[in-house]
Amino acid sequence: MTAAADHHPSRSHALDILRLAWPIYVAQIAVLANAVIDTAMAGHLSTVDLAAVGIGASIQATVFMSLLGVLLALPPLVGQLYGAGRREAIGREIHQSLWISLALALISILALTHPGPFIAVSRLQPGVEDKVRSYLAASAWGVPGTLAFRLFFGFSTGIGRPWPVTTFNLLALALKVPLNYLFMYGLYGAPAMGAPGCAVATAIDANLVAVLAWGWCLGRHDYAQFNLHARFPWPDWKAILSFMRLGVPIGLTFFADVTAFTFMALFIARLGPVYSAAHQIAANIAVFAYMIPLALGNAAAVLVGQAIGADRPASARHLSWTGIRLGLAIALGLSLLLWTNSQRIAALYTSQPAVRAVAAHLIVLVGFYHLADALQATAVNALRGYKKSGVPMLIYTSALWSLGIGGGVVLGLTNRLGPARGAAGFWIAAVVSLGLVGLLVSLYLDQVSRAPQPGTNQIISRLD
């Protein structure tokens, strides 16, 4: 189809995005529910366990999301091949991605088993530090399964079939609670590990579900068109470098985003377990809310990539902005809910009055944070559909590390701009920095989507 014939009504594009985003959202909520379960179960053990889960999960997220972010190059690459009708080339992308995953796994395991730099920043109390180190060491065992399932996610969403991902994530969620009880509380003779037991349960869950997911996929006759059963090749450095040119900036973008969030947790940990626990509650809610624009953004990225592959640039642009409008509209409704129910939401997480009081104040700030989060998540994912990741990386690193982390330290821990605001100061800085990111990334998307796009033949030759 040519650009001249490329026209889809707004309602059709919105429905296309929602149809693909819905199962992605359910899958992501299932993953997030694991963190909610860990937080809730640790909160009923002790403040130390809750703080350890919050800090350990923040460090783990920094490592995982930064490195897993590299693999987010897969959905747009698969999407463009799928849109161009190159089904057989998709298996080659998956195989080369496995080599990249092996390197990422080694880096992840080393970072999780040697967390000294992260621990030094937070100046943890000895009891909390011991549990955090044990949590991270246990998390390292889940790295292979986590990376393998991320490839399954990239493949399935890239071809527009997200429901298998949803199904296997729901299976993992069903296994999470009994595994947590087993290792956190020491049922049936297992050792009572407390907070580190969460990580043991997650590692077992991740490896088991990854094996089941790929076993199911390779056994499907209708997936033969994707050439997954081809002989496993040696590394193709040209293909790997092409993948990395898109994936590394995405990974660095996630690194900037996640480290800004992680260092919030580490600096707030200096204020004591009550503030650390309250921040963990607020962060949990922020991540939960983020799943909606992230799902919309992921769906838009795939559909934009397929439209570019099929030589429909006008449709790609319209899909991009439809995703942003949907994300902002839903975010406004959710933010209103947070602003008007902050006390009730905090009470759902903890029965400790001191933690609840601090958390309720932070939840109000989460409402503002979410509006900025929705804008940046939908815009940056649409850009990935265009295979544009370098400029967003520069925007994220400069804004989030300077205004986000630096501004948080100034507002939260010093008296330079008035009395130190504690945990709230970090959240105020995060709102400002992420809002700036969303604005700049959206302006860049407008520029990219207006520019002439390569035709199908150019895309195929570049991928080959």
What is the reported pLDDT for 123? Answer: 67
Residue 360 identity (one-letter amino acid): A
Is 385 a residue whose pLDDT tops 90? no
238-284 tens-digit pLDDT: 888 888 888 888 888 878 887 787 788 878 888 888 888 888 889 88
Distance (Å, rounded) from C-alpha 155 to C-alpha 77?
9
* Distance of alpha carbon 235 from alpha carbon 258, whole angstroms: 30
pLDDT, tens digit (0-9, with 9 covering 90-100), for 340-354: 998 899 888 877 888
pLDDT at 460: 44
Distance between CA atoms of 366 and 280, rounded to whole angstroms? 12
Range with lowest mean pLDDT among 166-170, 348-352, 371-375: 348-352
**Contacts of 105 by beta carbon, 8 Å cutoff, 6+ apart:** 143, 144, 147
Higher pLDDT, 119 or 426: 426
For residue 2, what pLDDT band results from cuts at 50, 70 and 90?
very low
Cα separation values, 300 from 69, 74, 303, 344, 389, Å:
17, 14, 5, 34, 15
pLDDT digit string, tens, across residues 182-216: 888 777 666 777 778 888 888 999 999 999 999 88
- Buried-exposed string 304-328: b where 16+ CB fall within 10 A, e elsewhere: bbbbbbbbbbbbbbbbbbbbbebbb
What are the Cα distances from residue 110, in Å, to 63, 105, 113, 208, 268? 10, 9, 5, 22, 25
Residue 453: predicted pLDDT: 66
> To the nearest whole number, what is the mean pLDDT of the chain?
84
* C-alpha distances out from residue 311 to 113, 136, 246, 314, Å: 46, 46, 20, 9
∠ CA(282), CA(334), CA(420), 5° rounding?
35
Least Cα distance to 261 among 284, 278, 277 occurs for 284
Bridge partners, 329 (sequence order)? none
Radius of gyration of the chain (CA): 22
Tell me if the pTM is above 0.85: no
Give the confidence band of 5 by pLDDT, cuts at 50, 70, 90: very low
CB 175 within 8 A of CB 205: yes
Query: pLDDT digit string (tens) for 288-332?
Result: 899 999 999 989 988 998 888 888 888 888 999 999 999 999 999
Q: Please give the Cα distance from 171 to 156 (Å, whole number).
A: 17
